[in-house]
Amino acid sequence: MESLKNKPVDSPNSDLSEQIKAATKDSHIRAENTQLMLNFQRGQITETQYKLLLCSLYEIYQALEEELDRNCDHTGIKPIYFPQELARLESLEQDLEHFFGPQWRNKISVPAATHRYTQRLREIGKNSPILLVAHAYTRYLGDLSGGQVLGKITQRSLGLRGNKGVAFFSFPGVTSPNKFKQLYRARMNCIDVTDQEKLDIPDEATRAFELNIEVFDDLHKMLSITEENSRKDITSNTFASSPVLQFALGVGVALATVGMGVYAF
């Protein structure tokens, strides 16, 4: 990953939110143009794709929100700590139970890139909590910005009704996403950071986007392998009659391949 130090950014005297925006511009565009996100935007998301995405989102938000909770009194975290308004973990649990049933925790499968992402969150939560600001900003404000649109696309693509299976995209504690984003940016810009931290936080935001891109790419690889196995039709009649087993085997093969280094965010 190219360091922020090698990229042109706004003046050190500009707001932190503006520095993050400038530093992540290219990565933001790349993230939106990954194959998985393009499929999403075109309304071509399948149930299998969506399930895999939910699994990774759950692992990522579990790590992020546990570290934010643990560091909620940190001077850099406290101003942007909004668990009632923003927390996604409970919503993701509802969505996973909708698709996988009560035993959903035993069916979570994620690629190696997701583990790298969560490891990074745990690492900075322990050693440099101020950098959590970058991850919270990029994730939550991204969800607020595109959540309603992606939620409707998912509902149409999968034939879902109401909030079932798409709770992740809903923010009942936020009455006006635009006003809340303005509040969030203002609170973040008031965080007392050192000159070095004002460089490190945008750099970490770029890393957050790169980690997301890696997750999307790994998920796409997993899905490609799952679909290839389905086309080969190498399973028994018993296996073929069980969509749950088809999904589990496809993911298992994909995970093994990704874990062995098929992928060189």
List residues forming the annotated binding site: 21, 28, 137, 185
- Pick from 193, 57, 173: nearest CA to 121: 57
| Binding site per annotation, positions for heme b | 21, 28, 137, 185
- Name the maximum alpha-carbon separation found in the chain: 66
133, 79 contact by CB (below 8 A): no
Buried b (16+ CB within 10 A) or exposed e, 137-157: bbbbbbbbebbeebbebbbeb
| Secondary structure in 3-state letters for 142-177 | HHHHHHHHHHHHHHHHHCCCCCCCCHHHCCCCCCCH
123, 166 contact by CB (below 8 A): no
